[in-house]
Amino acid sequence: MVITLYAYRTRPGKAQAVGRLYREWQQLLVKWEPVSTELLANPHDPAEMIMLARFSDEDTAWRAAESARHCAWYAQLVSLAESGPMVDHYQVVEPD
């Protein structure tokens, strides 16, 4: 399993827009059948947010991230971010 993580700080007053953009992202990702998606906010600083999606494999995660629709969505996320987003992919590690 691979997790794609978007960490960013929202611009003041943009929290509701981020919520709408997250729902658009969920709909956009349906084609790639993500295992799950989440929107997280730091409880001590709600402007610090993370969006993440879990995919069954790395190829699927990259196909989703490189699609034209995803690039357009990402541009919207950048416009709502005061800093970031930083994007990373992580692989789930199963302990021995």
> For position 49, what pLDDT does the model report?
96
> For position 95, what pLDDT does the model report?
82
Q: Is residue 81 part of a domain?
A: yes
Number of domains in the chain: 1
Its pTM stands at 0.86
Q: Is residue 70 part of a domain?
A: yes
- The helix-helix angle for 68-80 and 15-29 (nearest 10°) equals 170
pLDDT of residue 96 exceeding 80: no
Q: Is residue 26 part of a domain?
A: yes
Q: Is residue 96 part of a domain?
A: no
**d(Cα 10, Cα 20) in Å, to the nearest integer?**
13
Q: Is residue 50 part of a domain?
A: yes
Tell me the mean pLDDT in the region 28-35: 94
**d(Cα 40, Cα 61) in Å, to the nearest integer?**
19
Q: Is residue 8 part of a domain?
A: yes
User: Which structural domain range is residue 59 located in?
Assistant: 2-91
CATH code for the domain of 29? 3.30.70.100
> pLDDT for 46-95, tens place per residue?
999 999 999 999 999 999 999 999 999 999 999 999 998 999 989 988 88
> For position 15, what pLDDT does the model report?
85
Q: Is residue 84 part of a domain?
A: yes
